[in-house]
Amino acid sequence: MKALESKIGWLLLVALAIAFPYLAGNDYYLTVMSLAYIYAIATVGLNLITGYTGQYNLAHSGFMAVGAYTVGILTVDYQVPFWVAFALSGFVAAGIGFFVGILSLRLKGHFFSIFTLCVGYIMYLLIEKWESLTHGTVGIIGIPAAPSVFGIDFESPRAQYYLVLFFLVASVWIMHRIVSSLLGRTFMAIRNGDDLAEALGINLMRNKVLAFMLSVFYAGLSGGLYAGSVRFLGPALAGVEQTFDMTMYMLVGGTGTMLGPLLGSVSMPWLTQYLQFLQDYRFLVFGPILVLLVIFLPNGIVGTWLAWKARAASRTASPGMQRKQAVPIVQQQEGSHA
């Protein structure tokens, strides 16, 4: 019954997303939502290594930039077809993630986070200074949009929106399959404690590196979509601020949940848009809202709701359990009297 309710809920969300272009007032809203979906894909990947495996990666935006620049460099400088470059974006990020993971995942806790923060800054510097490859601070201009598939032209904002939505739905479905599998339970065992995971016979290094590679694959894929949607790239994409934004989306929605990163990635950009009228003062309102959420909803919106739902279900089930436990006692008493 719960599985059926969950499927119905996800189908309703997909239906609402499909109907959004017909409800939006103009193309600007479609562009904002498309970018939110792109960052949602990256945040879902960050949630795998942070929320499910317990390793906080501060270089996530750097890997997103790797995917974006893979598409930008290959299509603009080498005239590689967009879809070929896009397919490589995730794998290039995962390949670099393999070597970074082998080096960084030998560290634990905040030492790992500090190491990845340095890696992310190195990525930013390489993009900014390696002008012969990345075009430096000038950036890459004129990245082609995704070419038509089956006669569908992706030049319009509506077509771009549905393209990004397709990859978001596919990414979330695949992530759900990973988290629900034995591999996902392995990642969660590592999150609960290295000693416990080793006691269960789990190869820590191999599974941590695998989780890291899958996480940055999502980042690279989202970067490839970003390049095809925005069609301009600059070093700022690799800035640590982008990673902090994705972390904020994950914390607000709910770390270690499937719906949380999506909710945070979609809601927070819209909240930022609605606070634009405050201009430079909007963060004076935005900051306290985040602080209150962290204080009163430490598990995020979705995590808090799931915890409340579990407590309500346990309270509902308790009287029934008490009655079931009472039946054998009564039967025993009746049998002894007989």
Comparing CA positions, the residue from 183, 212, 208, 203 lying closest to residue 95 is 212
| CATH no., domain 2-288 | 1.10.3470
Asked whether 264 and 246 are in contact (CB, 8 A), the reply is no
Which residues is 152 bridged to in the sheet?
149
Return the amino acid letter for 313: A
With bands split at pLDDT 50, 70 and 90, how would you rate the model's confidence at 212?
very high
Strand partners, 140: 233
- The two three-digit tokens of residue 160, written as one number: 């771009």
pLDDT in tens, 114-172: 999 999 999 999 999 999 999 999 999 999 888 777 667 777 889 899 999 999 999 99
User: Which pLDDT does position 267 carry in this prediction?
Assistant: 87
Structure tokens at 22: 């017909």
| Band (279; pLDDT cuts 50, 70, 90) | low
Which pLDDT does position 209 carry in this prediction?
Answer: 96
Structure confidence at residue 292 (pLDDT): 80
User: What integer is the mean pLDDT of 91-107?
Assistant: 95
- Considering only residues 281 and 206, tell me which one the structure prediction assigns the higher pLDDT: 206
Pick the residue with more confidence: 7 or 256?
256
Residue 169: the pLDDT is 96
- Rounded to 5 degrees, φ, ψ at 233 are -130, 140
DSSP 48: I
Give me the mean pLDDT over the 225-244 stretch. 93
The pLDDT assigned to 334 comes to 40
Phi, psi of 150 (to 5 degrees): 55, 35
C-alpha span between 107 and 95 (Å, rounded): 20
Which among 241, 289, 297 is positioned nearest to 268, based on CA atoms?
289
Residue 298 has pLDDT above 90, yes or no: no
Band (25; pLDDT cuts 50, 70, 90): confident
Contact 225, 217 (CB under 8 A): no
pLDDT digits (tens, 9 = 90+) for 316-337: 765 555 455 444 443 444 444 4
Which residues are CB-contacts of 51 (< 8 A; sequence separation ≥ 6)? 250, 255, 256, 257, 260, 261
What does the alpha-carbon distance between residue 195 and residue 331 come to, in Å, rounded to a whole number? 46
DSSP letter for 202, please.
-
**Tell me, what's the pLDDT at 330?**
35
Q: Helix, strand, or coil here: 200?
A: coil
Residue 315 has what pLDDT?
A: 80
Q: Is the pLDDT of residue 224 over 80?
A: yes
Is 90 a residue whose pLDDT tops 90? yes
pTM value is 0.89
